[in-house]
Structures are given as structure tokens and as C-alpha cells.
Amino acid sequence: MEALGKNSEPFPQRAILTVVTLSHLKYALTLARSCLAQEPQCTFYIAVVDCLSKSDLQERSRNSTKSLASIRWLTIEELHLPDWQRMAFQYTPFEFVCACKPFAMLAGRRLGHTDLVYLDADMWLYQPMDEVWEELKTSLVLLTPHLVQPLPDDGEFPSESEYLRCGTFNGGFIAIHGSADGDSMLEWWCRRMANDCIVDIMGGIFVDQKWLNLVPGLFPSVKSLRHPGYNAGHWSLSQSSIEKRVDGHFFIGDSPLVLFHFSKFLPEDPYSFERQQSRVKLKKMPALKPLMEGYWRELDQTKSTPVSSGSRFDRLSCGTVIEPSWREAIRRGHASLRDIADPFDSSATPSLVERYRQLESESSDWRVDWKYAKKRSKWSKAWKKFRRRIFDWWSHR
């Protein structure tokens, strides 16, 4: 297979990409500002999967800084998704964004880029990615592991078993060197994402991320980027501490902090990351406070047209909120729904809502996570009933 790119320039044409729904456009624009400052030679792409035109996207970001004028936009049609209406319906917005990652990277290849880096939108780039571009001279794929050293068996959260469930590598960063093998990896990843990008942790799948476990074995020249300053996040803080030096630069261990992933960051609660793990507290790593507050200020400076917290893919065309079981029925290709051309369009199928609801009684057994929740719910109800009886007995004894 020939590589997709057609770039004839003597040096790799570099691109950085991110994928969001419109509700997270503010995060993507914030990331863009840092990337364009640190990597001005790169083309920065934002794929917004809510199916808006490029003129709409440019209008929504019109009030942002002038430096963001060079952003390139990718619409959902340009990602070349297989039957995008069905794919958008079968996933939650979070799952759908994750599923679109490799499609966005392939779009970058079609546009002639040779070296591509995908970044989740909730990141900030502090230094140029020199190590990444250097590694891509000899590696086709770069991944960042969640763990680079063993965790102690101390009962704290997360443990190593959590990373076995959710994935060895963090899906917020992936770098690809365009070649026949690099393109083959992306095409394989696209095939998996077309129907198997769900959150079913007990069932062994966690969106796009869990599939990355297979990449080092399936494809040649895959490297684990162990530099602690790349894709650092709440998962890495117990392995390497962050400090802010007198020159104002952040270091993680002995390495400069290049890319921090503000996963689960809430602007209204900058320290919410502490609830994602129990190994590191803010008071024990004081440099976290200026790090979080600095990102909050950058996010606050980003101007974009306000939108609701949801996605246009949350509802049917009639306004009815889509239930998880309806999405799963479409993903599974349920026999009773195979005649539906557009699963969002209730006007074309007047009985659509009723047909979806008829499947809800059987849906709790469709995913392992759902089976577990159903079982736990039964025990919870039994326990509440038992407690009520004990309380009644105690009150009337």
C-alpha cells in the first residue's frame, strides 16, 4: 500500500490535530493558542464533529486572538466516516469524539501532512515538541504510557489494575509518521472505531484507548515515549512530582514539562483532579496550584460563542433525548431497526420513539457494565428494603 500523503517537500510537513464537539470548542481554541505559539511551523486542525460549516466555526471563534486566524477546520464530512449519521447516533458524544480521532489523522494525511500529532483538547503545550519530531524520524507511531514505574500495593486509587482495565497508553496523545505502515495502523484503528468505541470497562473496552494496547504487537516501529514531560496528567503525578523553578518553567522530575493533560479539569473547580486519584494532594505538591490556575486563566481568556453543554447528537429531530439503550440498539444493528435510514430523523419514521422504547427492557444485558449496574441495583434495593424494615422494627419495638 502506498502512503496517502503526496507532499514532495524535503522536510516533513507537520500537523497537530484535535477533535471536539461544539460544546468543547473553547478547550480546542485554548490548546490551539499554545500549539501555535510553541510550534509555529505546524498546521493546527480542529475537527468539530457537530456537523457545522466552516463559516459557522470561524464565526464562533471570531472573537479569539488574531494568532488563531491560521487554524484549519475539519467538518464531519471531511473525516470520511462510514455512514456518519448512524455512527454519530450509536455513540455518546464522548464516545463519538474518541472514535473520530484516527479519521481526523487520516484526513491530515490526505491533505499531505507527513508527521501528525493528535492531542486531546484539554491540554496545554509549554515547550516545543522537539523529542516527538526527532523520534518520528525512526519510529512510525509514538504512544505515551500511563505508568513508567510500578505503583505500590498501598490500597490507593488508581492501582495498576485500573490501568489494565482502561488502557496501557493514554489516548490523549498519539504521533504518526506517514508511511505505508503508519497509514495501515490508522486504517486498522478506523475500522475498530467504526463500531467498537464504547465505554464498557467491565467488558474490556474503553473507547479508542483500550485498542492502543494492541498497536505495539500489530505494527512495526512503535515506540513508547517515556519522557515524563509528555502527556503528564493526574495519573502520572505519583510517579514524578511537578515543581516550578525560579525561571518560571515547570519541571516534572528532572525533565521540563512539555505537555500537560488537564483531564477531568473543571474551570469552576480547578482542583477537581484530586477526586480522580487519591495518591497526590495539592498541599503535598504546591506547584500544582500555579499550574492549574495558569491553565484556568488561559481558558478564561479564550473567547468563543457560548453554547450549551450538550451536543446536537443528544436528541432526535423531534427534540426527544436519546437514551443509551437506543444508541446500543443501533450499534448492534438490531433487527427491528435495520430499515431506518437516519436514526435521528423521527419525522421520516413517525413511530421511531415507540420502536426505540420497545427495546429498553432487554437492553440491560447488552453490555457487561450494564449487567453489573443492574445486579448492583438489585442488591441496593434489597439492602434499602432491609434497612427500612430494621428501622421500622427499632422504631416500634
What's residue 111's pLDDT? 94
Phi-psi category of 244—alpha, beta or left, where left has phi over 0 and alpha has psi -120 to 50? beta
Distance of alpha carbon 103 from alpha carbon 96, whole angstroms: 11
**Judgement on whether residues 229 and 90 belong to the same structural domain of the protein:** yes
Q: What is the pLDDT of residues 248-296, one digit of tens each?
A: 999 998 999 999 999 887 777 767 777 777 887 777 888 988 998 999 9
**Judgement on whether residues 65 and 199 belong to the same structural domain of the protein:** yes
The answer to whether residue 56 is domain-embedded is yes
**Judgement on whether residues 215 and 322 belong to the same structural domain of the protein:** no
- What is the average pLDDT across 204-209? 96
**Judgement on whether residues 220 and 358 belong to the same structural domain of the protein:** no
What's residue 364's pLDDT? 86
The answer to whether residue 148 is domain-embedded is yes
**Judgement on whether residues 280 and 351 belong to the same structural domain of the protein:** no
**Judgement on whether residues 203 and 291 belong to the same structural domain of the protein:** yes
**Judgement on whether residues 280 and 338 belong to the same structural domain of the protein:** no
- The total of structural domains in the chain comes to 2
Q: What is the pLDDT of residues 338-356, one digit of tens each?
A: 999 999 999 999 899 999 9
Looking at residue 130, its amino acid is D
What's residue 270's pLDDT? 66
DSSP assignment of 44-107 equals EEEEETT---HHHHHHHTTTS-GGGGG-EEE-GGGGT-TTHHHHHHHS-HHHHHHHTHHHHHHH
Q: What is the pLDDT of residues 52-72, one digit of tens each?
A: 677 877 776 666 655 677 899
**pLDDT more than 70, % of the chain:** 87
Q: Which of 301, 322, 354 is the last residue of a domain?
A: 301
Q: Does the pLDDT value for residue 21 go beyond 70?
A: yes
Q: Does the pLDDT value for residue 18 go beyond 90?
A: yes
Answer whether the bond into residue 158 is a cis peptide, omega within 30°.
yes
What's residue 396's pLDDT? 42
Q: What is the pLDDT of residues 72-118, one digit of tens each?
A: 999 999 999 999 999 999 999 999 999 999 999 999 999 999 999 99
* Confidence band for 374, pLDDT divided at 50, 70 and 90: confident
The answer to whether residue 231 is domain-embedded is yes
**Judgement on whether residues 126 and 32 belong to the same structural domain of the protein:** yes
Give the dihedral sign, CA 278/282/284/287: positive
**Judgement on whether residues 243 and 297 belong to the same structural domain of the protein:** yes
Contacts of 57 (CB under 8 A, 6+ apart): 25, 46, 48, 73
Q: Which of 244, 278, 301 is the last residue of a domain?
A: 301
The answer to whether residue 321 is domain-embedded is yes
Q: Does the pLDDT value for residue 131 go beyond 70?
A: yes
The answer to whether residue 318 is domain-embedded is yes
Dihedral angle over CA of 384, 388, 391, 392, nearest 10: -170
What's residue 55's pLDDT? 80
What's residue 257's pLDDT? 97
* Confidence band for 375, pLDDT divided at 50, 70 and 90: confident
Cβ atoms 40, 76 nearer than 8 A? no
- What is the average pLDDT across 141-150? 95
* Chain center to CA of 376: 28
The answer to whether residue 309 is domain-embedded is no
110 three-state secondary structure: helix
**Judgement on whether residues 286 and 156 belong to the same structural domain of the protein:** yes
The answer to whether residue 7 is domain-embedded is no
What's residue 171's pLDDT? 97
What's residue 42's pLDDT? 95
Q: Does the pLDDT value for residue 29 go beyond 90?
A: yes
- What is the average pLDDT across 16-20? 98
**pLDDT more than 90, % of the chain:** 65
What's residue 109's pLDDT? 95
The answer to whether residue 308 is domain-embedded is no
Q: What is the pLDDT of residues 318-330, one digit of tens each?
A: 999 999 999 999 9
Q: Does the pLDDT value for residue 221 go beyond 80?
A: yes
Which CATH number fits the domain that encloses residue 208? 3.90.550.10
**Judgement on whether residues 126 and 221 belong to the same structural domain of the protein:** yes
Task: Please provide the average confidence, as pLDDT, over all residues in the chain.
Answer: 87
The domain of 372 spans 314-395
**Judgement on whether residues 243 and 343 belong to the same structural domain of the protein:** no
Q: Which of 240, 273, 301 is the last residue of a domain?
A: 301
